[in-house]
Structure 1
Amino acid sequence: MKKTLLALICMVFLLPWDGQKAYGQEEADYKFTLKTNLLAAFAGPIWVTWIVPVTGEYKVLFEAKTFKKQSLQVGASYLGPSVFVSALKNELGDSADVDVGVNGFRGQLWYKFFLTRDSDGPSGFYASPHFSLASARIENKNEPDDYVNATKLNIHGVLGYQLITRGGFVLDIFTGLGFRDMTWDYAQEGSTDLDFGEGKGRINVTFGLSFGYAF
């Protein structure tokens, strides 16, 4: 009987503490997120003739809650050779006529407006403008004067959903529609062995995925 009574007393004191802890986890007031996407190493923002990804992207996205249901997100990326280009170079070895080198950067900016009624952000459905500028130098290492500078500008309106779990894991996915302008600046017009197609501006559909941690 004494053991039963002792167990009941323990439950009376421990259950409220456990409940408060669980409630605190659900209502965690996250103000920042830090995210990336390792899959971007396979296909970065700059492609050859819109078919082959020539750049791999290694990025970090930082987001800060600004006001109720609003946040600012910035992204910084290093652009190197994509996994496809690196694998092709390793496969061809010394037999390749062109040794492709890639080096560049990308900057991105979002300002999110969260639409989910029961969330003050930075979680739930959101709408945002999205700006992206990528620049890379793609060169033939065997010929120092044989290179092209590629620049890609994206301006989109996007809709997305950001999930933040109790433990702080973040999954952000979005899609949208906007404008893309792609330009190629050849070192010597008509003399390069690198052919990347003509640059042009056009309507563009975007899709993005990132994951990380909220704090």
Structure 2
Amino acid sequence: MAFDVPHLPSDEIHIWRMPWPATVPGRSAFDELLSAYASPDAPAPVRGMHGKPMLPTPWNTLGFNGSHSGPLALFAIGRGAEGFELGVDVEHLRPRPRALELARRFFAPVEADWLASVDEDARLRAFLDVWTLKEAVLKAHGGGLSYGLHRVTFQPRDDDWRPLAFEGEIAPASAWQFRRLDVGAGYVAAVAWRGAERRVRVFTTAI
């Protein structure tokens, strides 16, 4: 099966929402979507310096990333400069009794302190709000959790989170863009990319 994908302008990010596991005959839906967007002569993805799948130069102007949680998966794709960094994360809303403990252990102090001040009924959603933002950045970079969640710091502002300070290779925070994704009740999701503002479009496939 081949996906009929829309044109992908350089000022858009496309997000595909699908069931998990999502397979088509012989290949995963992620692989099929990448093939549908890539040029016909593009080779198979390779592993980058941090182990993140990417297309080799010069095809790596097409950035992509996938995430799944529970029965839902997301695939993000966009065009940019060579090595375009793009990441997506989705989390299923389910009880996490150790959320505050995890925040105090792995988040920056400003994030953990704010979460401690949030009403317990709203804390899980707030925890996942900042978790998905952090994960999206770390997945875009390729370092993942081993890079350090505390090195991607957000601050609460106006009922949302805003980037405060990024450390190391991902700095500065001002170089990044973020979007929350509405992918259905029971899920929290975010996409992040390095570069200018873009329009984000969400599509759904049952495959």
TM-score, structure 2 as length reference: 0.25
The structure having more radius of gyration, on CA atoms, is: 1
Structure with greater strand share of residues: 1
Structure with more helix by fraction? 2
Q: Name which structure has the greater RCO, CA cutoff 8 Å, separation 6+.
A: 2
